Chain A
Amino acid sequence: MVSLGAITFTFPWVLMALAVLPLVWLLLRVTPPSARRLSFPAILLLFGLTSPEKSSARTPWWLMLLRLSCIALIIAALADPVLNLRQSMRQSPLILLLDDGWAAASGWTQRKNAAIRILEGAMRDNRPVMLVTTAPETAGAADALTFTPAADALTNVRGMDAKPWSTDRKALVLDRLTAAGLQPPAEAIWIADGVASTADTEIASRLQKLGRLTVLTESIVTGPFVLGPADRASDGGDNVIDVTVRRPSASALPSTITGVLALDQAGRTLARADASFDEGQAVTTARFNVPTELGNRMARLAVPDESGAGGVYLLDDRWTRRPVGVVSDNPDGIVTPLLEDGFYVSQALSPYAEVRGGTLAQLLQRDLALIILSSGRRINDPEVTLLEPWLENGGVLVRFSGPTLDGNVDPLLPVRLRGGGRTFGGTMSWTEPVGLAPFPEDSPFAGLTAPDDVLVSTQVLAEPSSGLAARTWARLNDGTPLVTADRRGDGWVILFHVTATPDWSTLPLSGVLVDMLRRVLDLSRGVDEAASTLPPSLPPQDVLNGAGQLVAPAPTVLAISRDDIGDPNIGPVHPPGYYGVSATKIAVNLGPAIGPMDAQATWPAGASVTGFDSVAAERSLKPWLLFAALALFIADFLISLVLRGHLFLPEMKRASATAAIALGIALTLPGEGLAANEPVPPPTMDAVLETRLAYVKTGRDSTDRVSSQGLATLTQVLAARTSAEMAPPAGIDPEVDDLFPYPVVYWRIGADQIPPSEQAAGRINDYLSRGGMILFDAPSQVGANEDGDGQQVGQALNAVLTRLNVPPLVQISDEHVLRRSFYLLPDLPGRYTGAPLYVERTSASNDGVSSIIIGSHDWAAAWARDARGLPLYPAVPGGERQREWSYRFGVNLVMYALTGNYKADQVHLPAIMQRLTQ
């Protein structure tokens, strides 16, 4: 094998044949080109004549060069040159170990391409291939390893994707290799994912004993990164989410920073956080600080540029669901807005949370993060027994006050209340309504601005006690508490000392209530389905594929039992993804399930470790060389024909023609014609020279015949009645013909109308925008079409119109110019009548002339007459009188198209008349 740069010749001894080229040169030199043959009647007179010299009997040098290069190309092709040929054990079997776990997802395309190139090379060498993948394919035991033809392995690899679960090299590689009982020699190539396993050393040494081991791996190790678990930060409040980011640990880890993105359902980036690894650090944390409304939209966290299930952390309802229950005693919910107490809080919270209404018992049937008791009534005992366990589990209960609130018997109040309320600024009082004091620093409302316009005229008062100040979240100017709160288990009970209606204060009307309720909402926990409330079996909803995208689960994916949801065995049976029924969606993430990772660092001595790029595509140059030789041969053939006079090139000196052929073959560059020199197509030329109507050829003969006959008759009618004397109508095909020469185009839509192609649609749009006019006629009446009902015609019309730039349309008005451009027409009938006619809403463009008219009266059928002048189709229901009206419509239409809004200038008429009469 001889290599010449990147080119390797498989059979280099064939190249020795190049030595005969000089011989061929000599041979070609002495053999003159075959003479041109010419039959000549007067040959009798030529006999005995001889030309004095033989100078022209030489093959021209360029022709010799052509022939020699042709031969050289063939010789080179026979030597079978291959570009980027891999030096390998070409005779021994090949073991291809392909890591296809989650860690291989980054750079999977390169891995796959490398594998494909290796297998293509093996196929060329007819080597048997043992393809070993390291991630389990199915739940059961993997098949035994066998050698297969390279083509089969190639087919397998082409259809292979990275798996969203971990590799199991011990079971899938080591044990199976042992079972296969391999004998040397064999070449092994391991496309490794970089994450170590305990079996790696054993595998590598065993493979190397078979022959040679080549390891292809990522050249620069920065990943793969693993996300998760994520949780709300313990020290940062509810808006801060910490997510653990890990990478395989190794002896010399460089410091690096990777981003982590928070994405919503549609994949839009909501936030970005950086995870910075110090040198040698394998685990770090990325911190998101996002507002609740953004946080509620977060659907997943992902490492950018890291495709793979390990770099994706799915967020489920626990993270986003904050349903709010507004207790209303009316089972129908809020019926009188502004008056009912639940109205204001519902309005305040509905942009930020899912607000449900209903009685307390109804509400508590489902999970709630926050319950608002807005009515200010006391809670009775059955309700207390309902609420207590919910509060213990972290529920937040917000209560508003009211006249009937009884601070002494109500157990679910943060503070004890004094009996009766306190009223300021009443008609009988000298005191003024009191405003809000700034929010205390330690309250959840800290940071909100207390507005001046919140005035409280009535409130309930807390019984002074030692803990009152700590429980007070908001105060009035006089120091009395406005909002108090107390813990109940993991939850909160929060009391607003005013009503939820503006009766006692202007707080419900103020924006600060919205802010306060949102702060309260942030206090509440996402609803975490308790394991016990989950259905016993959680079927898969969407699962991640190897590339980290959510896809529909394969049939082999099984439901996870309720007990295992905390620690599912992620694998082919349970890939990461969403499990559960529609109401509850539990995210099963790969990241937390991956144990500590080490980078694959040590390889046995003698194994060659390279990157994926080292496997450049092997490419046989043989077909290309043969193709070039064939091209040269054809060129030589043509040139010979010309030289012998068998191929005549008219209008050209023969010598220059020969050169042109040689040149043309050498540079087969497509010439680009000059647009200005393009001949005008004959139909366009005809249309330009004489004005004529046009119809769009639909491809259906019957439809086109009606259009053609109809327009032909209309042209005659126009010539008889008006000064518009036009040439016979033209049928045009927007796909090929120009529309611009035609003042108006009639388009009769049939059920099988094919929508125009993009090019044709562009042409039509151009025509319309430059002042053209198209009358769409979609006769949908029974009997108007040979096949297809009206609905299909409508659909066909829709399909056509969606391709076009249709301006806003209105039904034609009684004053529309179309009704009076020539005749005064109360109706615009065709073969049928009564259907509406749509025109462009008055537009400033095109002089206010509608570019599109859409109707369904089948005008062409009404107009159409045969050669003897007899109508072809009956006009229903009006008979011949209706047909006359249809002609008048046609005349008006053409006049409208030709004269534009000329007749719309009626505003000037009085002035003109006045001038004329003076």
Chain B
Amino acid sequence: MPVNAHSLQHTAEVTASTLPPLLIDANRVAATVSLGSHGRRRAGPGDTFWQFRQYTQSDPAHTIDWRQSAKTGPVYVREREWDAAQTAAVWCDCSPSMSFRSSKKLPEKAERAATLGLALASLMLQGGERVRLLGAETNAVSGRLAMMEMAHALERTLANPQPAGIPPPPVSLPKHAAIVLISDFLFPPGKLEAAIAAFAGSGARGHLIQVLDPAEESLPYKGRIRFQGYEDEGQLLIERTEDIRTAYIGRMIEHRERLSTAAMRAGWTFGVHHTDRPPHTALVALHNRLAEPVW
């Protein structure tokens, strides 16, 4: 299905419009230094007044509030609230295997992943956060312009799917950014563990969403089928597919367990979304997890 940037953005915004703007817990990103729209409930660079405190020797002289100091005895320093925006990095897997769908009535996995990613981006941008796409870097990181650019970038990627793994954390990624990885994660769990390790090093906190087609969950096929992979995995001839269904489902559960364990170990969250369900369900879950304060 050709994916149009405008329609993708539209779907994403419609999906996002049903949720309140996403506010990410500012505490999680105390160390990131960008200025943003939420106060961090602590002193730091910003425009709004935070508190007066007594002058210490390390304070520069220009920070002294002379008027306040003149009213009382000690010398006071005026502090402002530290404003900072959360930075979220979203990765939508657009590899060829994501272009699978078991029925014409269902969207392709990649399309659903892109919708979810953009919806999340839309919510966060409304909340004043900074959003960037992993794997498809955009210039703008905030505002509607960023939304447009991301939609176009995703469209380009969808049109030309490349087998690419989880990109490494970019150098410019602020510390403690929120990482959202949307994929089917149908690759060896070791790859994911390695990727999580790379991101966890930057102090980022991640959220994994596994987008699966229902057919991948239940293997509803029968008879003699020659299975083919999307990305050079090779071929496999199954004589009676219905005979291996139970074994397959067991393997799928096992695989998910490992993914989930890998995520938990790094303090990341893991969720599953099926393309036959509406995207809002996944978005709500993601929203809750992003907003959940982690101390």
Binding site for B on A (CB under 8 A): 32-33, 35-47, 49-57, 645
Contact = CB atoms under 8 A, between A and B. Distances in A.
B244 A50 contact: yes
Contacts of A49: 238, 244, 247-248, 251
Contacts of B239: 50-51, 53-54, 56-57
27 contacts: A33-B224, A35-B226, A36-B224, A37-B225, A37-B226, A38-B225, A39-B228, A40-B100, A40-B227, A40-B228, A41-B97, A41-B100, A41-B213, A42-B216, A43-B227, A43-B233, A43-B234, A44-B186, A44-B188, A45-B252, A49-B244, A50-B238, A51-B239, A51-B243, A52-B240, A53-B240, A57-B239
Contacts of A56: 223-224, 239-240
Contacts of B216: 40-42
Contacts of B225: 35-38, 645
B98 interface: yes
Given A41-B97, A43-B227, A43-B233, 5 more contacts: A36-B224, A38-B226, A39-B227, A41-B100, A46-B248
A42 B185 CA distance: 10
User: Does more than half of chain B's interface fall in helix, strand or loop, or is it mixed?
Assistant: mixed
B221 interface: yes
Contacts of B255: 45
User: Does more than half of chain A's interface fall in helix, strand or loop, or is it mixed?
Assistant: loop
A51 B234 CA distance: 18
Contact of A38 (B97, B228, B248, B251): B228
B236 A47 contact: yes
A42 B100 CA distance: 10
Contact of B223 (A36, A41, A42): A36
Contacts of A42: 184, 186, 216, 248, 252
B294 interface: no
B224 A40 contact: no
A46 B221 CA distance: 13
A39 B100 contact: yes
Contacts of B230: 39, 41
Interface residues of B, number: 34
B187 interface: yes
A38 B227 CA distance: 5
B252 A43 contact: no
Interface in B66-96: none
Contact of B240 (A47, A51, A645): A51
Contacts of A41: 97-98, 100, 109, 184, 186, 213, 216, 229-230
A46 B255 CA distance: 12
A32 B239 CA distance: 11
A36 B223 CA distance: 8
A485 B295 CA distance: 154
Nearest to B251: A45
A53 B216 CA distance: 23
B214 to A, nearest CB: 12
A57 B224 CA distance: 7
B5 to A, nearest CB: 25
A33 B223 CA distance: 11
B241 interface: yes
A43 B241 CA distance: 12
A32 B240 CA distance: 13
A38 B237 CA distance: 10
A641 to B, nearest CB: 15
A46 B225 CA distance: 12
A43 B233 CA distance: 7
B229 A40 contact: yes
A51 B225 CA distance: 11
- Which of A50, A51, A54, A55 has the most chain B CB atoms closer than 10 A to its own CB? A51
B240 A55 contact: yes
A832 B255 CA distance: 88
Contacts of A53: 239-240, 243
A693 to B, nearest CB: 43
Contact of A46 (B109, B223, B238, B240): B238
A32 B244 contact: no
Contacts of B100: 39-41
Nearest to A32: B224
A882 B248 CA distance: 87
Closest 10 CB pairs of A and B: A41-B97, A51-B243, A51-B240, A49-B244, A35-B226, A43-B229, A45-B251, A35-B224, A51-B239, A42-B216
B229 A44 contact: yes
A45 B251 CA distance: 6
Nearest to B99: A41
Contacts of B244: 46, 49-51
Contacts of B240: 51-56
B237 to A, nearest CB: 6
Given A51-B238, A52-B243, A55-B240, A45 B248 contact: yes
Contacts of A32: 224
A43 B109 CA distance: 16
Contacts of B187: 44
A51 B229 contact: no
Nearest to B244: A49
Nearest to B97: A41
Contacts of A44: 186-188, 229, 233
A649 to B, nearest CB: 13
Contacts of B252: 42, 45
A557 to B, nearest CB: 77
A55 B244 CA distance: 15
Nearest to B213: A41
Contacts of B98: 41
Contacts of A33: 224
Contacts of B97: 41
A36 B240 CA distance: 11
Contact of B241 (A37, A51, A54, A57): A51
Nearest to B242: A51
B252 to A, nearest CB: 6
Contacts of A43: 227-229, 233-234, 236
A582 B233 CA distance: 100
A442 B121 CA distance: 132
- Which of B184, B187, B229, B248 has the most chain A CB atoms closer than 10 A to its own CB? B229
Contacts of A52: 240, 243
A39 B224 contact: no
Contacts of A54: 239-240
A56 B224 CA distance: 7
A56 B248 CA distance: 20
Contacts of B221: 38
Nearest to A36: B225
Contacts of B251: 45, 49
Contacts of A645: 225
B104 to A, nearest CB: 9
Interface in B217-275: 221, 223-230, 233-234, 236-241, 243-244, 247-248, 251-252, 255
B226 to A, nearest CB: 4
- Which of A41, A44, A51 has the most chain B CB atoms closer than 10 A to its own CB? A41
A425 B116 CA distance: 134
Nearest to A40: B227
Interface string B184-202: 1011100000000000000
A851 to B, nearest CB: 53
A33 to B, nearest CB: 8
B253 to A, nearest CB: 10
A43 B221 CA distance: 13
Contacts of B237: 35
A52 B247 CA distance: 12
Nearest to B224: A35
A37 B97 CA distance: 16
Contacts of B223: 36, 56
A46 B236 CA distance: 8
- Which of A32, A33, A42, A53 has the most chain B CB atoms closer than 10 A to its own CB? A42
A46 to B, nearest CB: 5
- Which of A36, A39, A46, A645 has the most chain B CB atoms closer than 10 A to its own CB? A46
A763 to B, nearest CB: 41
